[in-house]
Structure 1
């Protein structure tokens, strides 16, 4: 198991944001967390990235306890996140944003670094076309591509994706999810938080439903997408 989350509890002040959350992510798979707004999905990812303090429970990555490790150590170990809202640096170019994703790498003048940059451009040809353009002048879809590309420049073993389809047109949503599948096929494990439950479940090896900070259902993506109660609650009654 690449990622193990056990009994995780996180508070915002006196309010419990997530409570006794336990799940795992096998290496080489796509896992997804789905649920309504406020269910605790983004808090879970921020906690895995080290941006939220753990009140109780444990997080292990490749067998190593990282429960209280700072964010930079988690990046060095192989965890990288594309955040909700994209978080691109608007005044910086595409290339500069991508370089920021590699800020902890010591091989930034190497052939390996260039190969990783070329991989991002192969996945997102639009970024190659815009490499000298300021991120703030790009469309929402292009900024989403940039946020994912920036996360990939850290060479993650586990890629955390927070709402990659938010605010995108349907055609772009399909494109983004296709690329997420390609990233996984290239060997990167993916943990996806997504309100577009239908798209997420189609691609997930394992899926977990969060409600008010707790996991209430787990199973394969296929099992949950075929469950009538899940369809009614998250898929509009139909996949």
Structure 2
């Protein structure tokens, strides 16, 4: 098991944001967390990245306890995140943003590094066209591509994707999910937080539903997508 989360509890001050959640992410899978705004999805990813402190419980990555590991060390171990809201460095070019994603690497003049740049540009041809353009001048969809590409530059074994479809047009959403599938097929395990539950469940091998900081349902993505109660609560009655 690549990622093991056991009894995780996280607070914001005196408020319990995450209460005793447990789930696993198998290596090679796409696993998704879905739920309404405020359910605790983003907090979970921030905690897995080391940005939020754990009050109780444990996080293991490839068998190693990383519950209290620093964010930098988690990236070095192979966990990388594309954050909610993209968070591109707007004053930097596309190429400079990609370089920032590789800050833990010391092989920037190597053939392997250029191969990783080429891989990202092959996944996102639009970025190749904008390689010397300032990120702040690009569209929301282009910035989302850049955020994912930047995360890939750390060569993660596990990529955390936080709301990759937020604010995008339907055509772009379909494109982003197609690329997520391709990233996974290339060997990167994916943990996806997504408010677009229909798309997320279609993409996921395993899925967990969060409500007010607790996991209330778990199962295969296809099973939850076909469940009438899930459809009614999260999919507008249809999928």
What is the match of residue 197 of structure 2?
197
What is the match of residue 44 of structure 2?
44
Cα distance in structure 1, aligned partners of 2:9 and 2:219: 22
Q: How many residues are paired up?
A: 239
**TM-score normalised according to structure 2 size:** 1.00
Which runs of no fewer than 5 residues in structure 1 stay unpaired? Answer: none
What is the match of residue 157 of structure 1?
157
What is the match of residue 188 of structure 2?
188
- Residue aligned with 2:146, SS: helix
Tell me by how many angstroms 1:232 deviates: 0.2
Cα distance in structure 2, aligned partners of 1:107 and 1:124: 22
Tell me by how many angstroms 1:203 deviates: 0.9
Structure 1: 4+ residue segments shifted above 6 A: none
- The equivalences for 1:82-231 within 5 A come to 82-231=82-231
Cα deviation 1:195-231 (Å, max 9, x = unaligned): 0000000010000000000000000000000000000
**TM-score normalised according to structure 1 size:** 1.00
Cα distance in structure 2, aligned partners of 1:147 and 1:209: 25
Which runs of no fewer than 5 residues in structure 2 stay unpaired? Answer: none
Cα distance in structure 2, aligned partners of 1:61 and 1:180: 21
Tell me by how many angstroms 1:176 deviates: 0.2
What is the match of residue 13 of structure 1?
13
Cα distance in structure 2, aligned partners of 1:109 and 1:155: 16
Cα distance in structure 2, aligned partners of 1:43 and 1:228: 28
Cα distance in structure 2, aligned partners of 1:42 and 1:228: 26
Tell me by how many angstroms 1:125 deviates: 0.2
* RMSD after superposition: 0.2
- Residue aligned with 1:42, SS: helix
Tell me by how many angstroms 1:62 deviates: 0.1
